[in-house]
Structure formats: structure tokens, C-alpha cells
Amino acid sequence: MTEEPAKKILLGVTGSIAAYKACELVRLFVKDGHEVTPLLTHDAERFVTAHTFEALARREAARELFPHLMEADLLVLAPLSANTLAKLAQGLADNVLTQTMLAYRGPVVAAPAMNARMWDHPATKENTARLRERGVELVGPETGELAEGELGPGRMSEPNEIYARCLAALARGSELREKRVLVTAGGTREPLDSVRFIGNRSSGKMGVALAEEAARRGAEVTLLYANGSVPPPAGIEVVATPTAADLARETLARADADVVLMAAAVADYRPSEPISGKRPKEREPWTVTLDPTDDILAELGRRRTDGQILVGFAADEGERGLERAREKLAAKRGTLFVFNDVSQDDIGFDANQNEVVLVSSTGERKIAKRDKREVAVAILDEVATLLRGD
């Protein structure tokens, strides 16, 4: 038995020649004292019977979507066939495994297994990218000799490797339990009149990915959302904060959170006298005076308590921008600054990918260009390290 409390594992098995390897995976979980509930597709049973899994797991396979399945700590899909992968990408729910995937909100680890050409097909690539975007962690497939005697990518990773990744996902899943995490996302809009505003290009993708990842790690998350273009995550508290003043008020009301991630692009200036109603079109120039807004991060820094993690985001340009992020870290009493270089078109504002430098008092770490969801994983890994005080 492990010293950690037993975890509840859902093991989805699909119709692949690699299904026999899932038996070993069950054995590894059970040996360490975890509870495994097998979820087999109809075709999985053409390869290995439910009896085998039930005997190894010492419990019945689930044949219906019972509510208690939703309380599991982890859903593992091994092997994941091209067919079920496509169904999951589309959100189909025609068997107990696909239904569970739609209803379950915890971490998911998937180990695809298929013929190399099936894996290489654009449809499979798109489906895989969709699952990744939704936070599914993929293990493999490995390159090697496939069942048909061909060589190529498609072979399911070994049970030991999948098991190690599952344990890591389980550890992450409870890392922020009982922590209150406040995330701000999107870009504020400062009214010029009743229909016009001064805004910015922030989509909210980075902040939403952070909120989702914090929730996945067991945190109690509040998202303060300013006009983002992506839907906020399901199942977490979301408060709309359209202007810098709204964002400042709602942030400071929750300034005692354990972790504050200030990913929103907050206006530095607002029109000093917004016009009530719509300003009619005239031939004269329209001169607007802008007043600086409050510096929320600096105020949070002043109020920061021992052990609280305060993360600022610096969208700036080039080496000089990075230098400014270092200066801000000290000036605003932040714990961590995430610098992203907005002089590059394909990352940062509105893009799906980001490349950042994590700047903290203990050092700097570059996170090479990757999906914003994966950047969120790296940032929260760093936050977890800082919380532990390592």
C-alpha cells in the first residue's frame, strides 16, 4: 500500500490490440491500493473480456453512468482507439465510456494506440489537438513495431510509463486543494460614451486556461472576467468585470486569496469624462483626456501577506521589456512575473500559443512556445513550488 490515501480510478479500455496491456495497468493501480473501475467499450471486449478486468480490479465493470463515477480522482483511457478518440473530440455519448467522459470533470490521461497511418491522418491529428486543448494529458503513442508488423508511431506506451504519468496527474489533482485562487482574465474596456470604448486585444485565453488548470488541481477558483472572447470554464465562480474600476473593486474584495494570478490586460488610462449617451458625429476633432487608472497589482503587493502568491503578467517588448518585468517584480512586491513578448505576432495577445519567461526572486525560467493550456500548466507548477516554499 502507498502512504497516500487510495484514489478512485476510472479505466476506459477500447477495441485495440493493446487492450491486454491495460490488464497490467489495473494490476499496478491495485497493487498500490487504488480502486479501479473498468469501463469497457463493446469492442474492447472482443480483445479482453470484462471478467479479466473485473478479476484484476476486484470490482465490477461499470455498465451505466452512475453518479458516483463522477467522484473519481482520475479517468485513464488506455488504450484509446482512433474511433473513441474521434467520438470524444466530437462529444458523442453512445456508450458508458463516452458518456462518462462528457459528465466527468476531473483529470484525464489518455494513451492512444493505433496503426501509424491512422495516427498520422489529419482527422486524428485534429481530434487529438482538440482533446489536448481541453486539458486531456496524452501519453505516447510510441514509435516501434506495430501489431501489423509495420514500424511507426502508434504503439501504446508501456503500462509502467502510463502509470507514472497517472500518479503525477493524481498528485497535481490535489496540489491546490483548499487553496483559494483568484484569476483575472480578458481585457478591460473604458467607456468614451455609451457605445464606444478604449479597449485592448486580450482574448482571455491565458487567464481562462489558468483558471481551468487551478480548478483541475483542486483549488477553489474565482475568475474575474473582463470581456474575453472565449467562454469561461464551467463549474467555477465567474464575476464579470468589464472596466478597470470593476476589476479593481472585485480584486481588492478578494485580496486575501492564497494565490492571485493577474492575467487580465487592465487599461492603464481611462477617459476622464465619459459622455453619457452616444456622442453625435461632428466635423470637429474629438479631444479626449485620459486619466491613469489605479495600479491594482501594486495595491495587492502592498497588502500581500506572508505565504501569499502574487503573480503579475507583463506584456511588453523585447529584452528591455524583460528588464522592466524584473524591475516590476521588486517594485510591486510580486512573487512571480510572467513576461510575454508582444512584439511577436504568433504568441501572446489573442493567439492560441504563448512563450513566456517566469521571473521570480529565486531565478528565471523560459517556457518555450506552446499551447496556452500547457503554459498554464507550467505557471501553476511554479506557483505550487513557491507555495511549498521549496
Ligand X SMILES: Cc1cc2nc3c(=O)[nH]c(=O)nc-3n(C[C@H](O)[C@H](O)[C@H](O)COP(=O)(O)O)c2cc1C
| Residues near ligand X (CB under 6 A) | 14-18, 41, 43-44, 81-84, 113-114, 118
CA 107 – CA 178 distance, rounded (Å): 17
Between 95 and 188, name the residue whose CB sits nearer to ligand X.
95
- Least separation, in Å, of the C-beta of 347 and ligand X? 34
Chain position carrying cell 482538440: 130
- Least separation, in Å, of the C-beta of 108 and ligand X? 16
- Least separation, in Å, of the C-beta of 92 and ligand X? 10
- Least separation, in Å, of the C-beta of 373 and ligand X? 25
CA 280 – CA 188 distance, rounded (Å): 24
CA 186 – CA 213 distance, rounded (Å): 17
Q: Is residue 383 within 8 Å of residue 363, measured between CB atoms?
A: no
The one-letter amino acid code at 52 reads T
Between 18 and 110, name the residue whose CB sits nearer to ligand X.
18
Compute the residue count for the chain: 390
The one-letter amino acid code at 192 reads L
The one-letter amino acid code at 360 reads S
CA 108 – CA 113 distance, rounded (Å): 16
- Least separation, in Å, of the C-beta of 346 and ligand X? 33
Between 126 and 364, name the residue whose CB sits nearer to ligand X.
126
Tell me which residues are annotated as active site.
Answer: 200
Q: Is residue 14 within 8 Å of residue 80, measured between CB atoms?
A: yes
Q: CA 302 from chain center: how many Å?
A: 29
Mapped onto helix, strand or coil, the DSSP state of residue 263 is coil
Query: Which of 258, 289, 296, 252 shows the shortest CA–CA distance to 274?
Result: 289
Q: Is residue 339 within 8 Å of residue 322, measured between CB atoms?
A: yes
Q: Which segments of 58-216 does DSSP mark as H helices, in order?
A: 82-90, 96-103, 116-120, 122-133, 159-173, 205-216
Strand pairing partners for 358? 338, 365
Tally: H helices and E strands in the chain: 12, 19
DSSP state of 157: P
Give the neighbor-by-neighbor strand order of the sheet with 74-80.
35-40, 8-13, 74-80, 108-112, 137-138
- Least separation, in Å, of the C-beta of 107 and ligand X? 21
- Least separation, in Å, of the C-beta of 95 and ligand X? 7
Strand pairing partners for 137? 109
Query: Which of 161, 160, 175 shows the shortest CA–CA distance to 31?
Result: 160
Between 112 and 204, name the residue whose CB sits nearer to ligand X.
112
Give the cell for residue 218.
483542486
- Least separation, in Å, of the C-beta of 73 and ligand X? 24
Give the cell for residue 315.
506584456
